[in-house]
Structure 1
Amino acid sequence: MDTPNQPPGKSIPKQDLGGRKLSFMDHWYTLHPWIHFCPTRGKVLCFHCARANALSSSVPAKEKAFITEGFSNWKKALQRFSQHARSEHHLRSLPPSRNSITGVIETADAKQQEVNRANLMKVITSIIYLARQGLALRGHGNDDGNLIELLKLRACDSEELEQWLRRKERYLHQDTQNEILQLVSHEVLRNIISGMRDAVDGEVPDVPPFSVIVDGTQDISGNEQQSICVRYVDKDFNVQEEFLGFYQAQSTTGADLSRLIEDALRRLNLPLTHLRGLAFDGAANMAGCVRGVQAILREKTTKALFVHCGAHCVNLAAKESCDVSTMLRNALYTINEVGRLFAESLKFREKFAELCVCENESPKKLRPLCPTRWTVRLQAVDAALDRYDEVLSTVEELGAGRTHVAARAAGLHAQLRKKSTLLALHMARVVLAPLDRLNRAAQGSRCTVSQLMSSVRLTKELLQAERDNADHTIQGLLRKVEASSCDAPMTLPRQKRVPARFAGAGEQHHAEDLPQYLREQLLLAIDSACTQLSDRFDQEGVREHGKVEKALLSSLNVKELDQLFQESPWREDISVADLAPQLQVLFKNNRPENLDAAKATVADLEESARAMFPDAVKLVRLLLTLPASSATAERSFSANVRNLHADSEFGNSGKSFICAAERTSDS
């Protein structure tokens, strides 16, 4: 409080003198502006003396009434007020006059503090801005880099900041920058945890059931960084995925990674008892059933379900389906080399752009194939097919030279002019296109396991439809290839005989003509994709999730529900005896067809109505909590892996840098 509390005199307790009551007079405030009414004591104090007493314990005995005890003798009020106003303690406690030397110094100091505070805030906001945009703060020296250049730009509009930057102490040392980033990251994490606690109904602070999404990558210095995310459901039944940061791992064994995850959760006060889901990739150290991270964590919390990341499963399925056919594999390798040559050779890019302009077409960037994310190879295939004639003409002209680039271009021209290469690219697209759409659906941050499995079923149906229509597809592709500029004819390749120890002594099947051979190659890729999808998504966590979802969506009695929950890790979270009548009443008029419909029904209920269906509401939350893939972690990698590289090169703290870049708007 900077000013005395001076309420109306009638609100101050009166003094009782044997049936005679004396009141506090309002004009006393004018005579003695230092009078302060203390509501807790019901008496008045000296505002300046009481304030000064907080910094010193020496209180004169005569002045205790106006400093600590309080004064309420209104009969002698004017006398005592005047005496206190002339006391030495009161005069020392008064703030210095602005005209005095002390007052001038304190005024100047206060103004300088205000200016310093404003300039320091500009430094902090500049650091937050750069972190938010994922830009490195420092350069190769102390006086270059994005931060100092941004501050110089802002100083053009602020003379005070320009003078600040000339100072010796500018608070721009690398340790200060890292400390600011760390403070921001801690505030961000506190806001994330606070948001999680707000999702829990009740007066006792707690966290909702949550899942953990973990994936790993290496920075430029070779340090293993683990991206840790949490997934939970808020009060409005919206799925929230929060990126907690990158954590450096000393080792990639399952035991060390599980300890790292436990330590990160423990530091954020996220107990393992609330952990209900795990989403990792399929590496042995993560998904292993004995020494993997999921096995170790599930030993400590048996209520957690593990789901192998859906996006990784789709990528692996795409890889196997393309590798199983040598025809498709060789064509994709050729396109990869074209993309590499396009990225390395300026002459290639210029000639390609020139040919595209001549055809009144906008040049499209040719890209090499991603070595790990197979589903994005569709983009590279589409880019090559859209400008196939221009690509063919470009490599033909480049191949006429005498450089090493010409040798590469000549080899690529020999492959691209084959009609079999163009046909194989079209066949690869038949398989990759449905898988690419499935991958996009799996990477949604709010995608649930049930939605993922529904997308998998639809993808398999699309692939099966392509299989049934394979003859028509091959005929159409043959007509398209024949009309292209490729001049190397297609012939039926030599078909190897499988050793008798594998195939037996019976007569082996060989394609009789080219269309039959091409149909077999296409069916081989399609069948491999369908088999991979079936095998890779046949997971224990997915099956358990399906059982619980069936309990929610089906009209089952207590006995049937008890059988479904008999081996479910979530059995202790749900009262089966209470769940059956709650579901019957909640979905009496409209039985939901899927989890989204059940979520909408529960979300439309008022909070008081939700309290009538606690087990049904909890079941919906649990089903939404289990992640379908590590989509958030993958997005964090693609957006922030360059930050990890910059951190290692310029010395920033990777974890705090990334955390601050993710959520600085909250702080």
Structure 2
Amino acid sequence: MDIRKFFERGTTREKRKKGRESSSGSDENDNHDKTTHVMPRSLHANIGQASHSPAKPVNISVADYSSPSTSQQTYDVNVDPEIIVDDGYHENDLGRYVGLATQLSTEKKRELLQNPWIPPRNYDFENIISEVQKTMAYAVLADEKADVAGKEQLSIGVRFYDESKRKIREEFVGFVELKAQNASAIAEAIDNFLFSSNLPTEDCVGFGFDGCSTMAGKEGGVQAILRKKYPRALYFHCSSHKVNLVVNDANAVPEIRNTVATVKDVITFFRESTTRRNYAPNLPRLCETRWSEKYKSIRKFSQHFPELVKSLETLSVEGNYATRKSAYQLHSAVTKPVFIVALQTIAKYSAVLEPVVNALQAKSIDMISVGEHIKHIKDILRNDREFPDRISNEMLQKARAVAMDLNIEISVPRLAHKQTHRSNPPSDNDNEYWRRSLIIPYIDSLISSLNIRFSQENTPAFALSKLHPLYMTKTSITDLHKNAESFQEFYNLDITGELDLWHNLWVKKALSDDQLRDIEVVDLFNEANIFYPAVRKALIILSTIPCTTATVERSFSTLRRVKTWLRSTMGEERLTGLCLMSVHRNYLKEDSEFIEKTVIDKFSANPRRLLLN
């Protein structure tokens, strides 16, 4: 809410002063007990209802909340409705809320508006911090972004199992301004935040960051520095970042790299001018860091490709000089056979990755679900790699259908005996050329990157996944005990006595693989609630492992809305408080007492007296 209108000075202040002076008149000494106020129109209704005559002063009983004491003092304040000035303050939402408090005097309300309560940095919205303190394990998520003032803001979130709500929660808990962008400064900021929140170091089981060297460095990275103080907290690379890097790794194929760059240029060409937008459908910008938008942009570009080519052809002969020049160059690039075939190939596998990327951003997703999603992608790619003829025929059939609509012929580029700048494989026909030069290298690149970036690391955290019935029922009891050795000592768990019983429980259920695959880790807590306390704690640790940093990434959108160019000098405590109120706005809407009671109590805790004369 923008409450600056309420504090405008100059003409409005002079009107108030003149109103007070004129209301006193020559009888100022006789009416020394009479207090007059200039009120916004939002207060007029409350006062007018209590008034029987426009000229008769109104007695208002005011409760004094300025004292931190629990007792309240009341005062009678006389207000003359005739001097109420309509200064436009009713347009202010905060002014309306305060105006509804009929037990407060005008000056008291003005004081409230001039000193609005801002949640302190350590204010616990939705009891997040208190719930984290109760849980057996928690993980920390962090990522950084520069605000409009050029200050680096570190967004911090926590992931934990809420016993009261019986669900996995990932919550944003605040911003911290970074004094430097090196690993030691970031690690110190995270450590200070956890220390000020009184979160136990022994319960921290994971850190979720992106994969840059500053955060992920094994020697001097943030995760390496923090692990010295939090020995049980392992570093986990964000799965969404890893999928995005897998796609970027495919850009090593020159044809794919050039096609993606051309798609981005075409979208930018149409979006940068309102006149050009009329020639093309609304296309989302192809942004490398917004994962869902990236695949959505490629999908829509492929769907509207014939329309876009015709629009480029039209703009190449119409419009101003800059438009004609750019449109001609882009039209020449997108009508090449290699672009059309590469676009169909990228669109096919983007359609496979898009639902997985969206699923990875869910707060409740766990490592078991992540593994299943990645396995599903690998199975599709391996199947296509085993039958490349079928895939190449499918891609060429789609490419020829699009080319026919645009009067373009899909032909093989000129071959040379020595070629260093593009693919030049030997081939007997068109299908063989495109299969060897484009389709197979692209599929191989995706499979290789997925295997490298989503390899099952030999860590205690991944060993916990074997407690899930989907994997446990396929493992012998001997291998299960051997696997448990890697995490029992690390997490200080004594699970040996319960492991045989837990294994027999799910073997006797004799559930199918589809039924076991539908069981989430949280669903296992009820089964292990009474008789398997050690297994339950191990499962809680497994569910707490951070899969992505999507929660803190989403806070960047709030940061951009709250800290604008007009608010670029906003302090850190105010920024964090307003962002917390924005992110957790559902809590504020559900609990109206927060506005009516908590805010007033926090505000009145400031020991000061307000003059009501």
Same fold (TM over 0.5): yes
In structure 2, distance between residues paired with 1:537 and 1:434: 17
Aligned residue for 1:659?
580
The amino acid across from 2:583 in the alignment is: E
Per the TM alignment, residue 584 of structure 1 is displaced from its structure 2 partner at its CA by: 4.7
Per the TM alignment, residue 329 of structure 1 is displaced from its structure 2 partner at its CA by: 2.1
Q: 1:169 to 1:441 in 2, by over 3 A?
A: closer
SS at structure 2 position matched to 1:247: strand
Aligned residue for 1:295?
224
In structure 2, distance between residues paired with 1:636 and 1:319: 25
In structure 1, distance between residues paired with 2:468 and 2:303: 48
TM-score relative to the length of structure 1: 0.67
Aligned residue for 1:193?
129
SS at structure 2 position matched to 1:618: helix
The counterpart of 2:284, out of the listed 367, 391, 405, is 367
Aligned residue for 2:536?
617
- How do residues 115-154 of structure 1 correspond to structure 2 at under 5 angstroms? 149-151=92-94
Per the TM alignment, residue 398 of structure 1 is displaced from its structure 2 partner at its CA by: 1.4
1:545 matched to 2:434? The reply is: no
Per the TM alignment, residue 638 of structure 1 is displaced from its structure 2 partner at its CA by: 3.6
1:399 matched to 2:316? The reply is: yes
Per the TM alignment, residue 365 of structure 1 is displaced from its structure 2 partner at its CA by: 0.9
The amino acid across from 1:296 in the alignment is: I
The amino acid across from 1:234 in the alignment is: D
Q: Do the aligned residues in 1 keep the contact of 2:562 with 2:579 (CA within 8 Å)?
A: yes
Per the TM alignment, residue 516 of structure 1 is displaced from its structure 2 partner at its CA by: 1.8
Per the TM alignment, residue 582 of structure 1 is displaced from its structure 2 partner at its CA by: 4.6
In structure 1, distance between residues paired with 2:504 and 2:580: 44
In structure 2, distance between residues paired with 1:596 and 1:284: 36
Per the TM alignment, residue 466 of structure 1 is displaced from its structure 2 partner at its CA by: 2.7
Aligned residue for 2:29?
none
SS at structure 1 position matched to 2:531: coil
Q: 1:464 to 1:275 in 2, by over 3 A?
A: same
The counterpart of 1:349, out of the listed 277, 298, 301, is 277
1:259 matched to 2:195? The reply is: no
Per the TM alignment, residue 424 of structure 1 is displaced from its structure 2 partner at its CA by: 1.7
Per the TM alignment, residue 338 of structure 1 is displaced from its structure 2 partner at its CA by: 1.7
The amino acid across from 2:127 in the alignment is: N
TM-score relative to the length of structure 2: 0.72
Q: Do the aligned residues in 1 keep the contact of 2:139 with 2:158 (CA within 8 Å)?
A: yes
Cα displacement string for residues 322-369 of structure 1 (whole angstroms, at most 9, x for unaligned residues):
x122222222222212211221112212233xxxxxxxxxxx312331
The counterpart of 1:111, out of the listed 55, 58, 62, is 62
The counterpart of 1:417, out of the listed 327, 332, 335, is 335
Q: Give the total of aligned pairs.
A: 497
SS at structure 1 position matched to 2:519: helix
1:226 matched to 2:154? The reply is: yes
Per the TM alignment, residue 461 of structure 1 is displaced from its structure 2 partner at its CA by: 0.8
Cα displacement string for residues 205-228 of structure 1 (whole angstroms, at most 9, x for unaligned residues):
x44310111111111122111111
Aligned residue for 1:442?
360
Q: 1:615 to 1:582 in 2, by over 3 A?
A: farther
1:573 matched to 2:492? The reply is: yes
The amino acid across from 1:619 in the alignment is: A
The amino acid across from 2:298 in the alignment is: V
In structure 2, distance between residues paired with 1:326 and 1:284: 26
Q: Do the aligned residues in 1 keep the contact of 2:210 with 2:238 (CA within 8 Å)?
A: yes
Q: 1:656 to 1:330 in 2, by over 3 A?
A: same
Aligned residue for 2:431?
515
Cα displacement string for residues 584-632 of structure 1 (whole angstroms, at most 9, x for unaligned residues):
5654632676586374664435xxx834321111111111111211121
Per the TM alignment, residue 497 of structure 1 is displaced from its structure 2 partner at its CA by: 6.8
In structure 1, distance between residues paired with 2:520 and 2:284: 43
Cα displacement string for residues 616-664 of structure 1 (whole angstroms, at most 9, x for unaligned residues):
1111111111121112122222444333445852525322221121224
Per the TM alignment, residue 115 of structure 1 is displaced from its structure 2 partner at its CA by: 13
Share of identical aligned residues, percent? Answer: 23
Q: Do the aligned residues in 2 keep the contact of 1:445 with 1:632 (CA within 8 Å)?
A: yes
Q: Do the aligned residues in 2 keep the contact of 1:239 with 1:624 (CA within 8 Å)?
A: yes
1:181 matched to 2:118? The reply is: yes
Per the TM alignment, residue 533 of structure 1 is displaced from its structure 2 partner at its CA by: 0.7
Q: Do the aligned residues in 1 keep the contact of 2:215 with 2:222 (CA within 8 Å)?
A: yes
Larger radius of gyration: 1
The amino acid across from 1:632 in the alignment is: T
Per the TM alignment, residue 460 of structure 1 is displaced from its structure 2 partner at its CA by: 0.8
Q: Do the aligned residues in 2 keep the contact of 1:338 with 1:412 (CA within 8 Å)?
A: yes
Q: 1:617 to 1:319 in 2, by over 3 A?
A: same
In structure 2, distance between residues paired with 1:374 and 1:195: 31
Cα displacement string for residues 527-583 of structure 1 (whole angstroms, at most 9, x for unaligned residues):
101110110112637x53332222454378987555324343764431033332552
Q: Do the aligned residues in 2 keep the contact of 1:422 with 1:481 (CA within 8 Å)?
A: yes
The amino acid across from 1:618 in the alignment is: K
Q: 1:170 to 1:116 in 2, by over 3 A?
A: farther
Aligned residue for 2:48?
none
The amino acid across from 2:454 in the alignment is: F
Aligned residue for 1:533?
450
In structure 2, distance between residues paired with 1:243 and 1:293: 20
In structure 2, distance between residues paired with 1:601 and 1:259: 37
Q: Do the aligned residues in 1 keep the contact of 2:149 with 2:569 (CA within 8 Å)?
A: no
In structure 1, distance between residues paired with 2:244 and 2:90: 39
- How do residues 232-243 of structure 1 correspond to structure 2 at under 5 angstroms? 232-235=160-163, 237-243=166-172
In structure 2, distance between residues paired with 1:511 and 1:639: 54
The amino acid across from 2:553 in the alignment is: E
In structure 1, distance between residues paired with 2:112 and 2:204: 41
Per the TM alignment, residue 262 of structure 1 is displaced from its structure 2 partner at its CA by: 1.0
Q: Structure 1: where are the runs of 5+ without partners?
A: 1-106, 118-142, 198-205, 353-363, 501-507
The amino acid across from 2:269 in the alignment is: L
SS at structure 2 position matched to 1:306: strand
SS at structure 1 position matched to 2:255: helix
Q: Do the aligned residues in 1 keep the contact of 2:283 with 2:300 (CA within 8 Å)?
A: yes
Q: Do the aligned residues in 2 keep the contact of 1:643 with 1:658 (CA within 8 Å)?
A: yes
Q: 1:150 to 1:483 in 2, by over 3 A?
A: same
Aligned residue for 2:83?
none
Per the TM alignment, residue 245 of structure 1 is displaced from its structure 2 partner at its CA by: 1.3
The amino acid across from 1:492 in the alignment is: V
Per the TM alignment, residue 249 of structure 1 is displaced from its structure 2 partner at its CA by: 1.2
In structure 1, distance between residues paired with 2:419 and 2:301: 38
The amino acid across from 1:590 in the alignment is: K
Q: 1:341 to 1:167 in 2, by over 3 A?
A: farther
Q: Name which of structure 1's ranges 626-635 and 485-494 shifts more when overlaid on structure 2.
A: 485-494
In structure 1, distance between residues paired with 2:540 and 2:566: 38
Q: Structure 2: where are the runs of 5+ without partners?
A: 1-57, 69-86, 589-593, 595-613
SS at structure 1 position matched to 2:232: coil
- How do residues 59-98 of structure 1 correspond to structure 2 at under 5 angstroms? none
Q: Do the aligned residues in 2 keep the contact of 1:307 with 1:539 (CA within 8 Å)?
A: no
Q: Do the aligned residues in 1 keep the contact of 2:238 with 2:548 (CA within 8 Å)?
A: yes
Aligned residue for 1:27?
none
Q: Do the aligned residues in 2 keep the contact of 1:562 with 1:576 (CA within 8 Å)?
A: no
SS at structure 1 position matched to 2:270: helix
Cα displacement string for residues 41-92 of structure 1 (whole angstroms, at most 9, x for unaligned residues):
xxxxxxxxxxxxxxxxxxxxxxxxxxxxxxxxxxxxxxxxxxxxxxxxxxxx
In structure 1, distance between residues paired with 2:277 and 2:204: 52
Q: Do the aligned residues in 2 keep the contact of 1:648 with 1:654 (CA within 8 Å)?
A: no
Q: Do the aligned residues in 2 keep the contact of 1:418 with 1:486 (CA within 8 Å)?
A: no
SS at structure 2 position matched to 1:573: coil
Q: Name which of structure 1's ranges 643-652 and 282-291 shifts more when overlaid on structure 2.
A: 643-652
